[in-house]
Amino acid sequence: MLAVMVVATLATLGWWIFGPAGVAVELTRRSWRMEIVVERLRAESGSDWCDELPADARDVSRRVMADPTGKRAEPSEHCRYTQLAWRRSWIAKTEGGPADRPDWPRPPLRVAAPGEAGSERLGKREAYFEIELRDREDHGWICRVDRERWEQLRVGMRFRIPVDRFGTADCPRMYASRL
């Protein structure tokens, strides 16, 4: 009886050490998401020494004051001003699955008079192609892949994926297997 337990323990340990690496998973879902940051031209307040103002400063108010850092020996003019700056306002996105053609969103943009706050423009674009993987115990992971790989994958495909002791999958090291 003891010999059977020792053999079973050694077999289990051998399988754990020398068996196939990673967790057996199945691809259960494919999805994509396309995002564009929409920026809005906003009036922002600022202050600086009057001889160091940005070129597009407007609504300038001045006062004479001593430099609290001590870099200027004499009291100098210090200005408060506003200037226009592009800032992230919201994110336009489209999303879908394998039956939908990935396409960039086409958000409506506000248009203000030239040189006035309120106009919007398209900023940075990001495309995400993701797959959802599940193991036999229904643990799930979502992995990002490039578009070419995403188009090759199909629901029901099986893989082995390395998972660390914290449950984080190493998606770049995912490899196909015949389970």
Give pLDDT tens digits along the chain (179 positions): 777 776 667 655 554 555 445 788 999 999 999 999 999 999 999 999 999 999 889 888 999 999 988 888 899 999 999 999 999 999 999 999 999 999 999 999 999 998 889 999 999 999 999 999 999 998 899 999 999 999 999 999 998 888 888 888 888 877 665 44
Determine the distance from the C-alpha atom of residue 154 to the mean position of all C-alpha atoms in its chain, rounded to a whole number: 24
Distances (CA, A) of 52 to 58, 69, 81, 88, 109: 13, 16, 12, 26, 34
83-114 as b/e: b if 16+ CB within 10 A: bbeeeeeeebebeeeeeeebeebeeeeeeeee
4 domain residue, yes or no: no
Q: Which residues pair with 151 in a beta bridge?
A: none
7 domain residue, yes or no: no
Determine the distance from the C-alpha atom of residue 121 to the mean position of all C-alpha atoms in its chain, rounded to a whole number: 20
- Split into its structural domains, the chain has a count of 1
103 domain residue, yes or no: yes
Closest CA to 155 of 127, 130, 128: 130
8 domain residue, yes or no: no
83 domain residue, yes or no: yes
Residue 153 · residue 25 · CB < 8 Å: no
Closest CA to 136 of 110, 104, 160: 160
55 domain residue, yes or no: yes
Full residue range of the structural domain in which residue 109 is found: 21-176
10 domain residue, yes or no: no
Residue 27 · residue 154 · CB < 8 Å: yes
pLDDT of residue 12: 58
pLDDT of residue 14: 54
Residue 166 main-chain phi, psi, to 5 deg: -95, 0
5 domain residue, yes or no: no
